[in-house]
Amino acid sequence: MAENQVDNVVTETKIPMTTQMYTTEDWWAIWLAGIILILAMIAAMAARPNVESMAEYRAIMEQEQEMAGFRTIAYTEAEARLNAVRARDSGFLKTINDLMARPGRWSTNPLDSLYRSESAAAEIRAANQERLEQATERLNVARANAEEAENRAREANFQNTQLNQEARALLGEWRAARSSHSSARSAANTQPFNRIPTLLGLMVVMALIFSIGGKFMGHNLKNFFIGFPIVFGLAVLSYVIANQETVRAYGFSYVLWGIVLGMLISNTVGTPKFLKSAAQTEYFIKTGLVLLGASILINLIIMVGLPGIFVTWVVTPIVLIGTYWFGQNVIKMESKQLNITVSSDMSVSGVSAAIAAAAASRAKKEELTLAIGMSMIFVVVMIFALPTFANWVGMHPVWAGAWIGGTVDNTGSVVAAGELIGPEAMYVAATIKMIQNVMIGVMAFGVAAYWCLKVEPDRACAAGAAPMKFTAAGALSEIWYRFPKFILGFIGASVFFSALGAAMGEDWAQAMIRNGILAWANGFRDWFFAIAFVSIGLSISYRELKEPLRGGKALILYVCGQGFNLLLTAFVAYIMFMVLFRDVTDRLMGMGL
């Protein structure tokens, strides 16, 4: 969306839709994610895992379940074999998954997360041999006891309640022993690794992926290629720090460290121009969100959508109108344009909403700058403050995610804040924010109409001044123009893979989609999010943003409006997700997101 100033007033030159499709980050997020998913599908089909055997394993499981009514030894072993059929374990999919391996856990030496020599691996193997022997002995005893108990129950045709209970208990002990033995065997078979070459390879692949769209969007590719290794290196470092045993125990995730590391640079030496060219927060996060859509069933999106509409489409207009009224009648704002720009920025969706409102009301350039500056300052506070508060008071993750999605100002920050609580909160927060983003076009049309008809009819409705036609067609055109197009990719990916999974059947979908295509897609998604969180930190400089804190009435308006927004959104989100649609919340928590 291009911007220019006429007589120091914010106006917009609208980009034709055909041009948008190859010059905007929303569309490039769709194209890049689509390419990744198509390549993953081709690789999964080429891997050809032994999916035909899954029918045999499933038949054994169904037979045992029907006969016994609980998980017998045969059931458990068939289930293990079924789960072991995975497209990700062979061919090109395995190569890419190995390439995307993240730094591992470590205790005292951070290099342990990136490199392990053969001698170090041998020491670990030797140290765990006794543990493996003990685990093997316990497993054999548990297996014998479980077999004996199961045979007694089987001889009674599983009709004896007491024998069934005894069998269930001993089978549970055997499964626990299997798990312990698997862990001990993994430790006793520890292998050396060197993730530095694969991380360098991944960095090159990701840089090339994003440079494709960057070329068409007019990014400075020279600066991008110079700066991207630093952004990627900080993302790797955020994973390394987060995987230190003590840090991990306290729950300080890579999200936090990515933002903090970025802010350390931006608020000390400052973010140089070449690094800013590589810190494309929205570009990275939107591409990751389209990939996220592939792993979310469409019925889940619909489930969140209904209560989400109440959280956003009801709360957002109330907060916008209420904050504007408060600014005019209580604070007595001198500039109505500044009032509506700040109110829209705070209540709808941050920078995009501020630009739309400023153009619709013909606000001055410095008024738009002030509104955006305050938004950027407070969004940093909210990224950390909201998850901290939610965890402290014990808010349900789904409720907290809906609260964050409806209040934090931009998509990247919403994902970061939600991730600090957990995957369920992140998914709900991102979905709520995408629903809210639809309001940008509605808000822009409403502001322009109000300004033209009520506030400044002589100036705002002068020939060539009105930013849009005040008709039903004009409203729909404005809504579509400002609609975040990457949401189409998110929903499209969800619809496609939901339909593909249903057509393939549960077992094939598990082997080829969840443990094949999506394993690849999710690996890229996590890395895209990691570099996005670093980019958020690199974009935040309090030296540059301190001026908005002197905003006087505008600052008071933002703080009061955001306070109202936080309270009302928390209340409505609680009613929707914890009372009226509690079944949706329970299903979300059981999906294993």
Q: How confident is the model at residue 514 (pLDDT cuts 50, 70, 90)?
A: confident
What CA–CA distance (Å, rounded) separates 197 from 212?
23
What CA–CA distance (Å, rounded) separates 280 from 206?
13
Q: How confident is the model at residue 549 (pLDDT cuts 50, 70, 90)?
A: low
pLDDT tens per residue across span 454-506: 776 665 555 455 555 666 676 677 777 777 888 889 889 989 998 998 888 88
What tokens were used for 555?
Answer: 């600052």
Over residues 420-439, mean pLDDT: 88
What CA–CA distance (Å, rounded) separates 522 from 96?
12
Q: What is the pLDDT of residue 477?
A: 75
Pick from 530, 473, 429: nearest CA to 203 = 530
What CA–CA distance (Å, rounded) separates 24 from 18?
11
Q: What is the pLDDT of residue 8?
A: 62
List the domain boundaries for the chain: 54-98+117-194
Write the CA distances from 193 to 114, 119, 526, integer angstroms: 8, 11, 21
Task: Evaluate if residue 539 carries a pLDDT over 70.
Answer: yes
Over residues 519-546, mean pLDDT: 86
What tokens were used for 78?
Answer: 């068939």
Task: Evaluate if residue 112 carries a pLDDT over 70.
Answer: yes
Q: What is the pLDDT of residue 593?
A: 55
76's CB contacts (< 8 A; 6+ apart) are: 171, 175, 178
What CA–CA distance (Å, rounded) separates 114 from 97?
16
Q: What is the pLDDT of residue 411?
A: 81
Q: Is 5 helix (H, G, I), strand (E, B) or coil?
A: strand
pLDDT tens per residue across span 293-330: 888 877 777 778 788 888 888 899 999 999 999 999 99
Where would I find the H helices in 394-485? 397-407, 411-419, 423-437, 439-450, 457-460, 472-482
What CA–CA distance (Å, rounded) separates 481 from 471?
15
Cβ distance 241 to 259 under 8 Å? no
Q: What is the pLDDT of residue 541?
A: 76
Pairing of strands 193-194, 9-13: unpaired
Region of poorest pLDDT, from 13-17, 135-139, 177-181: 13-17
Q: How confident is the model at residue 364 (pLDDT cuts 50, 70, 90)?
A: confident
pLDDT tens per residue across span 6-35: 456 666 667 888 888 899 998 999 999 999
Write the CA distances from 481 to 341, 439, 470, integer angstroms: 19, 12, 15
What tokens were used for 59?
Answer: 């038949």
Q: What is the pLDDT of residue 412?
A: 82
Q: How confident is the model at residue 355 (pLDDT cuts 50, 70, 90)?
A: confident
Residue 331: HSE in the Cβ half-sphere, 13 Å Cα cutoff: 25
Over residues 207-232, mean pLDDT: 96
Residue 337: HSE in the Cβ half-sphere, 13 Å Cα cutoff: 22
Q: What is the pLDDT of residue 545?
A: 62
Summary count for the chain: helices (H), strands (E) = 31, 4
The CA-based dihedral angle spanning residues 296, 302, 303, 307, taken in that order and rounded to the nearest 10 degrees: 130
What CA–CA distance (Å, rounded) separates 253 from 239?
8
Over residues 528-542, mean pLDDT: 88
What CA–CA distance (Å, rounded) separates 315 from 356?
19
Task: Evaluate if residue 591 carries a pLDDT over 80.
Answer: no
Q: Kindly write down the DSSP assignment for every residue of 244-297, as one continuous string.
A: BHHHHHTT--HHHHHHHHHHHHHTTT---HHHHHH--HHHHHHHHHHHHHHTS-
Q: How confident is the model at residue 2 (pLDDT cuts 50, 70, 90)?
A: very low
Over residues 185-209, mean pLDDT: 95
Q: H or E stretch including 116? A: strand 115-116
Q: What is the pLDDT of residue 374?
A: 82
What does the longest C-alpha to C-alpha distance in the chain come to?
92
What CA–CA distance (Å, rounded) separates 472 from 213?
34
Q: How confident is the model at residue 375 (pLDDT cuts 50, 70, 90)?
A: confident
Give percent above pLDDT 90 in the chain. 50
Q: What is the pLDDT of residue 5?
A: 42
Pairing of strands 115-116, 9-13: unpaired
Over residues 405-415, mean pLDDT: 87
Pairing of strands 193-194, 115-116: antiparallel
Cβ distance 195 to 103 under 8 Å? yes
Cβ distance 414 to 428 under 8 Å? no
Rounded (10°) angle between helices 411-419 and 281-294: 60
What CA–CA distance (Å, rounded) separates 434 from 530?
20
Region of poorest pLDDT, from 142-151, 162-171, 421-430: 421-430
Q: Kindly write down the DSSP assignment for every residue of 483-496, as one continuous string.
A: S-THHHHHHHHHHH
Q: How confident is the model at residue 37 (pLDDT cuts 50, 70, 90)?
A: very high
The count of other CB atoms within 10 Å of the CB of residue 499 is 11
Over residues 517-540, mean pLDDT: 91
Over residues 364-390, mean pLDDT: 85
Average pLDDT, the chain: 87
The count of other CB atoms within 10 Å of the CB of residue 458 is 8
Q: What is the pLDDT of residue 455?
A: 73
What tokens were used for 285?
Answer: 């996060």
Q: What is the pLDDT of residue 4?
A: 45
What CA–CA distance (Å, rounded) separates 49 from 513?
12
Pick from 86, 93, 22: nearest CA to 49 = 86
Whole-structure pTM value: 0.84
Q: What is the pLDDT of residue 52?
A: 79
Q: What is the pLDDT of residue 16?
A: 83
What CA–CA distance (Å, rounded) separates 317 from 333?
20
Region of poorest pLDDT, from 332-346, 367-381, 553-567, 572-586: 367-381
